[in-house]
Amino acid sequence: MKQLMVKNVLDWINEIAPFETAESYDNVGLLVGSMNAEVNKILVALDITPDVLNEAEEKGVQLIVTHHPLMFRGTKRILEDDYEGALISRMIRGHISMIAAHTNLDQSPEYSGSAALVKALNLQNVRQEGFMFVGDLPDAPIRADQLRGRIMQIEKDAVYQFGCDDTLISTLGISGGAYDEGFEQARSMGAQAYLTGEVRHHNALAAIGTGFILYQGGHFGTEAPLVPLFAKALQNALNALKYEVVVYPSTRRPYGG
Ligand SMILES: [Zn+2]
C-alpha cells in the first residue's frame, strides 16, 4: 500500500470534475494546508462548520473535502474573531488540509448533488446542459403533491411546493443549491416542474403564473446527497490506486433540531 498525499486527492478530483471548469467567481482546489501533507483519513462534507470540524477532530482526519469553499469573497485577513477566520485557524492549528470542489463538481454527471437526486428519483432519459439535469419520471405522469412527497423522502427534509397539487408532472428538472432562475432552462428542456434549493418570490410567481411547478428543497437538502455518493467514489478510486485511506461521509446536519 502507498502513502496518500493531499495532491493525490486533488488529482483524482481534477479527473472527475476538472477545477478549470469552475465558474470564474468561484474558489476551488486546495484552500488550506499543503499539497504534500500525508493523509490517512478524509472527511467529505458539504460545508466547513464548527460541528464538521468537531467531527473531523473526533475522527482524526488530515483532509476535509467540501463542496462549498471558504474565502469566497476576496478575504484579506484571517482573524480568530471572525466566524470564517476561526474555522480556518482551527484547521491550520490542527494540521488539517481542505479542498473545495464546488461549481466544477456541480457539472459532474456522476457526482454532483443534482446527479445524486436524479439517481435517487430514478429519472429516465436524462439530459444535462451545464448545471441543469432533466429527466422523465419512471411512472409518469404523477401529481405534483405526489412528487413532492417522493422528494421529501429522499432528502429527509422539508420540501416546499409552489403551484397546484393536481398538476401532472412527467418530466422534472433538477439543479441543486441556489439556482431558482434556472426554471426557464428546465422548462425549455421539456420539464413541467423544477427542483432547486432556494426559490425567490419573483421566480415563484413567474413560474406558477404559467402553470409550472417549483420545488424548494433547501440548499443543504438538495446538495447533501452528493456527500455519501462522492465519499464512496473517492474511497473506491483510492483503493484501486492502492492507497491506504478511510473516507468518511460527514453525518452532521447544519441547522440543529
Ligand atoms: Zn451549494
Report the separation in Å between the CA atom of 161 and the middle of ligand 1, taken as the mean of its atom positions: 20
Report the separation in Å between the CA atom of 182 and the middle of ligand 1, taken as the mean of its atom positions: 14
- Could you give the C-alpha distances from 104 to 33, 130, 138, 162, 208, in angstroms and in order? 21, 10, 29, 29, 31
Total tally of structural domains belonging to the chain: 2
* The pLDDT of residue 257: 61
Burial class of 21 by CB neighbour count within 10 A (0 to 12, 13 to 18, 19+):
middle
Please compute the mean of the pLDDT values over residues 88-103 and round it to a whole number: 98
* The pLDDT of residue 33: 98
Q: Is the same domain home to 56 and 118? A: no
Task: Decide if 255 is inside a domain.
Answer: no
Contact 246, 253 (CB under 8 A): no
Task: Decide if 257 is inside a domain.
Answer: no
Task: Decide if 207 is inside a domain.
Answer: yes
Please compute the mean of the pLDDT values over residues 209-237 and round it to a whole number: 97
Scored b (16 or more CB within 10 A) or e, 118-147 reads beebebeeeebeebbbbbbbeeeebebbbb
Report the separation in Å between the CA atom of 25 and the middle of ligand 1, taken as the mean of its atom positions: 14
Report the separation in Å between the CA atom of 252 and the middle of ligand 1, taken as the mean of its atom positions: 16
Report the separation in Å between the CA atom of 223 and the middle of ligand 1, taken as the mean of its atom positions: 6
Report the separation in Å between the CA atom of 176 and the middle of ligand 1, taken as the mean of its atom positions: 7
Q: Encode pLDDT of 247-256 as tens digits.
A: 999 999 888 7
Task: Decide if 254 is inside a domain.
Answer: no
Band (61; pLDDT cuts 50, 70, 90)? very high
Q: Is the same domain home to 11 and 41? A: yes
Contact 171, 136 (CB under 8 A): yes
Q: Which residues surround ligand 1, an ion (CB under 5 A)?
A: 177, 223
Q: In what order do the strands lie in the sheet with 213-216?
A: 124-129, 132-136, 171-174, 193-196, 213-216, 160-162
Contact 30, 19 (CB under 8 A): no
User: Which set of grid coordinates corresponds to residue 230?
Assistant: 462522492
* The pLDDT of residue 255: 86
Please compute the mean of the pLDDT values over residues 16-30 and round it to a whole number: 96
Task: Decide if 119 is inside a domain.
Answer: yes
Band (115; pLDDT cuts 50, 70, 90)? very high
Q: Encode pLDDT of 176-201 as tens digits.
A: 999 999 999 999 999 999 999 999 99
**At residue 217, does pLDDT exceed 90?**
yes
Q: Is the same domain home to 50 and 32? A: yes
Q: Is the same domain home to 158 and 96? A: no
* The pLDDT of residue 157: 85
Report the separation in Å between the CA atom of 104 and the middle of ligand 1, taken as the mean of its atom positions: 11
Q: Is the same domain home to 120 and 212? A: yes
Report the separation in Å between the CA atom of 2 and the middle of ligand 1, taken as the mean of its atom positions: 33
Q: Is the same domain home to 92 and 138? A: no
* The pLDDT of residue 166: 96
**At residue 106, does pLDDT exceed 80?**
yes
Q: Is the same domain home to 167 and 238? A: no
- Could you give the C-alpha distances from 96 to 75, 157, 175, in angstroms and in order? 19, 31, 31
Report the separation in Å between the CA atom of 174 and the middle of ligand 1, taken as the mean of its atom positions: 13
Report the separation in Å between the CA atom of 231 and the middle of ligand 1, taken as the mean of its atom positions: 17
- Could you give the C-alpha distances from 140 to 122, 125, 143, 166, 207, in angstroms and in order? 12, 12, 9, 13, 21
Report the separation in Å between the CA atom of 172 and the middle of ligand 1, taken as the mean of its atom positions: 20
Band (75; pLDDT cuts 50, 70, 90)? confident
Average pLDDT, the chain: 96
Q: Is the same domain home to 35 and 84? A: yes
* The pLDDT of residue 241: 97
Report the separation in Å between the CA atom of 152 and the middle of ligand 1, taken as the mean of its atom positions: 18
Report the separation in Å between the CA atom of 43 and the middle of ligand 1, taken as the mean of its atom positions: 18
Scored b (16 or more CB within 10 A) or e, 165-179 reads eebebebbbbbbbeb
Map residue 69 onto helix, strand or coil: coil
Report the separation in Å between the CA atom of 222 and the middle of ligand 1, taken as the mean of its atom positions: 8
Q: Is the same domain home to 12 and 101? A: yes
Report the separation in Å between the CA atom of 242 and the middle of ligand 1, taken as the mean of its atom positions: 32
Range of the domain at 211: 113-217
- Could you give the C-alpha distances from 103 to 8, 9, 93, 199, 233, in angstroms and in order? 20, 18, 28, 19, 18
Q: What CATH number should be reported for the domain holding residue 58?
A: 3.40.1390.30
Half-sphere exposure of 143 (CA within 13 A, CB side): 6
Q: Is the same domain home to 11 and 97? A: yes
Burial class of 214 by CB neighbour count within 10 A (0 to 12, 13 to 18, 19+):
buried
